[in-house]
Structure 1
Amino acid sequence: MLKHLAAVALLGSALVFSGCETLPTPGATVETANLVQLQNRTWIVTQIGNTAVRTEPTAHNIPSLQFDSATQRVSGADGCNRIMGSYSAGRDTLTLSQMAGTRMACLNSNGIDQKFNEALAKVTHYQVFGKTLKLLDRYGNLLIQLESAVQPR
Structure 2
Amino acid sequence: MLKPLCLALAMSSVALLAGCETMPKTTAESTENLQLLQNRTWIATQIGNTVIQTSPQARNIPSIQFDEATKRVSGADGCNRIMGSYSVKRDTLQLSQMASTRMACMNNNNIDRDFNDALAKVTHYKTIGKTLQLLDRYGNPVLKFELAVQPR
| TM-score scaled by length of structure 2 | 0.82
Structure 1 residue ranges without an equivalent (≥5): 1-25
1:93 maps to a residue whose letter is T
* Distance in 2 between residues matched to 1:144 and 1:138, nearest whole Å: 13
User: Alpha-carbon deviation of 1:28?
Assistant: 2.1
Match of 2:34 in 1: 35
Match of 1:52 in 2: 51
* Distance in 2 between residues matched to 1:123 and 1:99, nearest whole Å: 12
Match of 1:66 in 2: 65
Match of 1:23 in 2: none
The within-5 A match list for 1:1-153 is 27-153=26-152
Number of residue-to-residue matches in the alignment: 128
Q: SS of the counterpart of 1:37?
A: helix
* Distance in 1 between residues matched to 2:41 and 2:132, nearest whole Å: 11
| TM-score scaled by length of structure 1 | 0.82
* Distance in 2 between residues matched to 1:102 and 1:31, nearest whole Å: 33
Q: SS of the counterpart of 2:39?
A: coil
User: Alpha-carbon deviation of 1:27?
Assistant: 2.5
* Distance in 2 between residues matched to 1:90 and 1:98, nearest whole Å: 18
Stretch deviating more after TM superposition (67-76 or 26-35)? 26-35
* Distance in 2 between residues matched to 1:45 and 1:106, nearest whole Å: 18
Q: SS of the counterpart of 2:103?
A: coil
User: Alpha-carbon deviation of 1:129?
Assistant: 0.2
* Distance in 1 between residues matched to 2:85 and 2:144, nearest whole Å: 20
- RMSD in angstroms over aligned alpha carbons? 0.9
1:87 maps to a residue whose letter is Y
User: Alpha-carbon deviation of 1:109?
Assistant: 1.1
